[in-house]
Amino acid sequence: ETPSVGTAGQDAADDPAIWAGAAPVVIGGVSTRGFVAGTDKKAGLYIYGLDGAVLQFLPEGLLNNVDLTEGLAVDGRPQVVLGASDRTPGKTGVALYLFDPAGDAGVRPWGRIATDVVEPYGFCFARRGAEVHAILVGHEGEVRQFLLTADAAGAPHAREVRRFDIGTISEGCAADEATNALYLAEENVGVWRYGLDPAEGAARVLVQGMATDVLVADAEGLTIIADGAARYLIGSSQGDSAFPVWRIDGGAPVYK
């Protein structure tokens, strides 16, 4: 459990992402086996130790959802890349950060992905083989999928590879390379499964609509975990303060 975020009494603590390494790393002078990145959606990004203690705070503005991934090298060094949907006026898009597991500089700003989305809301990374994709969900259901790379100077470069509309207010986003699936939560409708391949466009299947004791509006955050060969999608059912779970490694998601 972490302390409360600095913005008190304003529903400010929002989305987390967790990273664990094979060996201890140093953040803020503290040795830790990993960290939790969590947004204060009215102030910036917190980095917590796995014990919940604050290791770092980046006062980056109105960050809503955060995710992280491995798979990019910057200046010849493998990095953990963090991204967060940024609603700060004049900076709307995706804020990007780097963490060097072999260094001691902590999480540091890297750059941003500009977008035409008026209010960035949901965000997740996806891996497609050697590629890293960044997927932004706008408040009104706009989706933008980018291929993210580092250029010769070590700066981020994003190329849009797909755009489509979910329909209404949406936020939750989780990608599963193993099953070529992109899961998106439309807050008052349900959870959708899209193909992760940009060539699949806007084709989709409804995984779960609103249903008592299963998914109660608002449907918000989504994440995926693996347990051996089994893979699970975990959702956030805000209306009844529950976390529905689906097994997703078969032909179709199965509610558990």
**Cα 153 from chain centroid (whole Å):** 26
Helix (H) or strand (E) run with residue 197 in it? none
Tell me what pLDDT residue 74 has. Answer: 95
With contact defined as beta carbons under 8 Å apart, do 21 and 33 qualify?
Answer: yes
232 forms beta bridges with 225, 247
The band of 98, judged by pLDDT with boundaries at 50, 70 and 90, is very high
Dihedral pair phi/psi, residue 238, rounded to 5°: -70, -30
What is this structure's pTM?
0.96
- Check residue 131 and give its pLDDT: 97
pLDDT, tens digit (0-9, with 9 covering 90-100), for 14-57: 999 999 999 999 999 999 999 999 999 999 999 999 999 999 99
Determine the pLDDT at residue 79: 97
The Cα 33–Cα 237 span in angstroms is 30
Tens digit of each residue's pLDDT (9 = 90 or more) over 201-223:
999 999 999 999 999 999 999 99
Q: What is the pLDDT of residues 186-198, one digit of tens each?
A: 999 999 999 999 9
Instruction: Give me 57's structure tokens.
Output: 């705070």
pLDDT per position as a tens digit, 219-236:
999 999 999 999 999 999
d(CA 230, CA 86): 33
pLDDT in tens, 52-88: 999 999 999 999 999 999 999 999 999 999 999 999 9
Q: What is the mean pLDDT of the chain?
A: 97
Each residue's pLDDT tens digit, 117-136 = 999 999 999 999 999 999 99
Structure tokens at 70: 């491995």
Q: Would you state the pLDDT for residue 110?
A: 98
Check if the beta carbon of residue 65 is closer than 8 Å to that of residue 84: yes
